[in-house]
Amino acid sequence: MTKKYLLFHLVGLLSWASLAQNYTISGYVEEEKSRERLIGVNIFTPDKRIGTSTNNYGFFSITVPSYTQELIFTYLGFETVVYQSAGIKDQVITIRMIESSNMLQEVVVIDETKPIAEQTQMSAVEINIKQIKSIPALFGEVDVLRAIQYLPGVQSGGEGTTGLYVRGGGPDQNLVLLDGVPVYNVSHLFGFFSVFNADAIKSIQLIKGGFPARYGGRLSSVLDISMKEGNMQELHGEGSIGLIASKLTLEGPIIKDKTSFMISGRRTYLDVLAQPIIAAAEPGSTFGYYFTDLNLKINHKFSDKDRLYLSYFTGFDKFYLRYKETWLGNTDEFRANMKWGNGTASLRWNHLFNPKLFMNIAATYTRYQLGIQSSEVYYYPEGKEEYGFKLVSNIRDLGLKADFEYVYNPKNHIRFGANTIFHGFTPGAVSVLIDTPDEKLDSIINLAPRINSIETYAYIENDQHITRRLAINYGLHFVHYHIRNKDYFSLQPRVSGRYLLSDNLSVKASYARMVQYLHLLSGNNGIGLPSDLWVPATDLVPPMTSDQVAAGFAFSTPDGFWEFSIEGYYKYMNGLVEYGAGTSFVNPNNWENNVVIGGQGWAYGSEFFIQRKLGKSTGWVGYTLSWNNRQFDDLNNGEVYPYRFDRRHDISIVFLHTFSERLDVGFTWVYGTGVATNIPMFITSGLPPLNYYNPFEIYENFGSRNSFRMPAYHRADIGINFHRNTKWGKRTWNVSLYNMYNRQNPFFLFMDYDWFRQQRVIKQVSLFPIIPSISYIFKF
């Protein structure tokens, strides 16, 4: 009865706004030169009463009243296009936009689809990739995730790391999508660099709250990254040569106007450059570390209604060690390596059924794997002995999904779809090889058995403009999760809306329930070590849930130069999982009994954001005032304690200035309250276990969990770009200073003994002093 009642009202609401005579214009928006589809292009009628924007595939559909003759297409950094309607009839079109010739117009800090006050979606921001490249970076290596850390509500884990802590959540609570495929480990080199090569990326959107129903599976944020599609017209490339890494990107047509490709690779080469030194110091030995990644995308246009995308990404880090020693006719060869990384692939098909109905179907694959391998072979005159060891830990997902967008009428934009993911977890498998004259063994030992699970969700959401002032996005996200003999179901309501108080000022509010069926076990609070272990929610370890409410104001100046926003949020998390006291990643065996479950979390605070979007000088100031606490029955005597990344104050300042087409500078400053940590505070004597052979013990006591604060973190970086057009294209020299005033920021603390003073001392290790860097960037 209740369902019928709801359906009746839904149909009533939808048909209410469709009484007038309308027609639909739909299609794609492309960049003129490359024919690459543009995401987030703003489309509206001249009176601005009806508007929309292109989706992740450059598709739009807008239903307008019969009196509408024109549509206006705007995209920051591009010339505005005015489309004259070809009559009062449904039509499918392709709009090509030309990049603005005025370089200064390109300097846009954050590129939102429409003025912030008008967006129904709150707590979301799109980042302009060009701007990310202007922000100073560690070792000159442009980093997407580090740029996102400058936004309010987003915190970094610590010195140099790229982990994202969004509104009190952990780094495992971010759904990071690369062309629609989840990426599990987003870090290289223990978190100092992200796996995303900025040259291969077209757009980035971050959602911190008020999640639309189409997203799910993580509690705290959605980071939706789209790779470039490849130029349909001609071959182009760009690359850079830096102190620690170089990269190269090529894109171009395979069949002009039909098929294009994009390939981008990056590798660090510290190990290669160091080889001569190592070889001189230790003949016969070598060791090193590098990371590399490769992005590949091919897209084929069958017709204006059908398009196929193939995306592939692989990236890994590798430590390796080899030595060979020979003596008296004997030889000892030892090899060891540790390799960890991601691989993702997706095949997507876009189809336009009619001007109002768009479909995307995708098959996805993602994998994160850690492998440790060592082997040693002794050769001696009578024969040889061989010993080998290999550890593999991985997570693999296979997914199939379908998403639909249906523009029912000018006031209702409906999205619906479904997705099934097959998760496969191997927390740890070891193979051992022994081959000697006396013993032969070649066996596989499963430290923890492989676990499979199936996660299926379906969603429906509607972006409804009830009046010109009031717009609401509401929806439901339903999940069924099966593992072993256990089934979990969840129905997650989502709603967000805005009410325009004036043309430039709106009040916004949202609510979202999220459920996460994955846990990240990390003995280091998720800073990105390869030992981090992804495990599923099981019958013994239930899933995590969160309920987040947020409200705020958004204001933009009429000229579009300035935007202001203030948002307050409150997030309650339940079912959180932590390692129990004294446990760590080391033993994946029986991990379900090594964790404490049923934790609660409370994160709340306010975010302030002031941004200058246009002009020679752009940038923003973000400030977050927040509280972030946890409670587990089996930790800290059941008492509430601060989360490690409970930072009361977090400030980011980004300032970018373009002096001319040949010179621009970027400056950033960040400040964050010190992270909460544990250090021994006092010492007591104590009991040994009964009948144990030591008579008495001395214990170091940490006090309440996370009761000590590290010193505050702050740092300023500056970078200067010198551009020049050449015969073959454009080159840029980037000179930057990381940590320009050489702040000794805390990386970790440890206890030591000062023999001179005859007492214990606590010391802080800082990692990065002032670091100058230079890189050469080219584009053709």
Question: Is 698 near another protein (CB under 8 A)?
Answer: yes
Task: Examine residue 193 and tell whether it contacts another protein (CB under 8 A).
Answer: no
In the complex with another protein, the residue whose CB is nearer, 14 or 270, is 270
Residues with Cβ < 8 Å from 198, sequence gap 6 or more? Answer: 129, 132, 133, 142, 143, 144
* Backbone angles phi and psi of 685, in degrees to 5: -85, 165
| Window 503-532: contact mask with another protein (x via CB under 8 A) | --------------------xx----x-x-
For another protein, which residue of 87, 329, 383, 689 counts as binding (CB under 8 A)?
A: 689
d(CA 45, CA 82): 10
Please give the structure tokens belonging to residue 318. Answer: 């590798």
- Write down the residue that tokens 């967006």 correspond to: 119
Buried-state track 235-273, b at ≥16 Cβ within 10 A, e below 16: ebbbbbebbbbbbbbbbbbeeeeebbbbbbbbbbbebee
Question: Strand locations in 355-450, DSSP E?
Answer: 357-380, 383-409, 412-435, 440-448
279 binds another protein (CB under 8 A): no
Verify binding: residue 270, another protein, rule CB under 8 A.
yes
Contact flag: residue 764 with another protein (CB under 8 A): yes
Query: What is the C-alpha separation between 9 and 479, in angstroms, rounded?
Result: 24
Q: Which residues have C-beta within 8 Å of that of residue 194, sequence separation ≥ 6?
A: 143, 144, 145, 146, 162, 186, 187, 188
Stretch that binds another protein, among 390-398, 458-466, 608-616, 768-776 (CB under 8 A): 768-776
- Smallest distance, another protein to C-beta of residue 672, A: 17
User: Under the criterion CB under 8 A, does residue 281 sit at the interface with another protein?
Assistant: no
Token reading at 655: 């300032």
Minimum distance, C-beta of residue 287 to another protein, in the bound complex (Å): 13
* Structural contact between residues 578 and 632, judged by C-beta atoms closer than 8 angstroms: yes
One-letter amino acid for residue 190 of the chain: F
Piece in contact with another protein (CB under 8 A), picked from 266-274, 352-360, 507-515, 540-548: 266-274
At its nearest, how many Å lie between another protein and the CB of residue 686? 6
Distance between alpha carbon 98 and the CA centroid of its chain, in Å?
30
Stretch that binds another protein, among 4-12, 364-372, 603-611, 677-685 (CB under 8 A): 677-685
Among residues 253, 535, 768, 779, the one that binds another protein under rule CB under 8 A? 768
Residue tagged 């087409």 (tokens): 661
Q: Applying CB under 8 A, does 558 fall inside the site for another protein?
A: no
Complex with another protein: residue 276 or 558, whichever CB lies closer: 276
Q: Is 527 left (phi over 0), alpha (psi -120 to 50) or beta?
A: alpha
Q: Rank residues 274 and 359 by Cβ distance to another protein and give the closer one.
A: 274
Q: What is the 3-state secondary structure (H, E, C) of 446-483?
A: EEECCEEEEEEEEEEEEEEECCCCEEEEEEEEEEEEEE
Question: Which of 502, 695, 727, 756 contacts another protein by CB under 8 A?
Answer: 695
Q: How far is the CB of 700 from another protein (least distance, A)?
A: 7
- Residues in 402-461 at the binding interface with another protein, rule: CB under 8 A: 445, 447
Closest by Cα among 453, 426, 596 to 516: 453
Q: Which is nearer to another protein, 424 or 523 (CB)?
A: 523
Footprint on residues 364-383 left by another protein (CB under 8 A): none
**Structure-block tokens of residue 731:** 């080159």
Q: Among 378, 478, 602, 702, indicate the residue that binds another protein (CB under 8 A).
A: 702
Check binding of 699 to another protein (CB under 8 A).
Answer: yes
Backbone φ, ψ for residue 2 (5° rounding): -65, -40
Count the neighbouring beta carbons within 10 Å of the beta carbon of residue 531: 18
| Distance in Å, CB of 340 to another protein, minimum | 15
When the beta carbons of 667 and 768 are compared against another protein, the nearer one is 768
Q: Is 200 left (phi over 0), alpha (psi -120 to 50) or beta?
A: alpha
Q: For another protein, which stretch binds (CB under 8 A), given 11-19, 389-397, 451-459, 758-766?
A: 758-766
Q: Which CB, 200 or 595, lies closer to another protein?
A: 595
Q: Kindly write out the interface string for residues 715-744 of this chain, putting x where it contacts another protein by CB under 8 A and - elsewhere.
A: -----------------------------x
Compare residues 330 and 590 and give the one whose CB is closer to another protein. Answer: 590
Confirm or reject binding of residue 756 to another protein (CB under 8 A).
no
Judged by CB under 8 A, the stretch of 126-134, 161-169, 344-352, 691-699 that binds another protein is 691-699
Q: Is the Cβ of residue 21 or residue 685 nearer to another protein in the bound state?
A: 685
Region binding another protein by CB under 8 A among candidate stretches 274-282, 496-504, 657-665, 712-720: 274-282
Query: Does the footprint of another protein cover residue 692 (CB under 8 A)?
Result: yes
Beta bridge partners of 61: 26
Q: Which residues in 728-747 are b (16+ Cβ under 10 Å) and which e?
A: eeeebebbbbbbbeebebbb
- Using CB atoms within 10 Å of the CB of residue 349, give its burial: 0 to 12 exposed, 13 to 18 middle, 19+ buried: middle
The one among 250, 274, 614, 653 contacting another protein by CB under 8 A: 274
* Between 192 and 358, CB nearer to another protein: 192
Which positions from 581 through 610 interact with another protein, judged by CB under 8 A?
Answer: 581-586, 589-590
Q: How far is the CB of 737 from another protein (least distance, A)?
A: 12
Query: Is position 700 an interface residue for another protein (rule: CB under 8 A)?
Result: yes
Q: Which residues pair with 373 in a beta bridge?
A: 337, 390
Q: Which residues bind another protein (CB under 8 A)?
A: 243-244, 270, 273-274, 276-277, 445, 447, 523-524, 529, 531, 578-586, 589-590, 678-693, 695-703, 705, 708, 711, 744, 747, 749, 751, 753, 758-769, 771
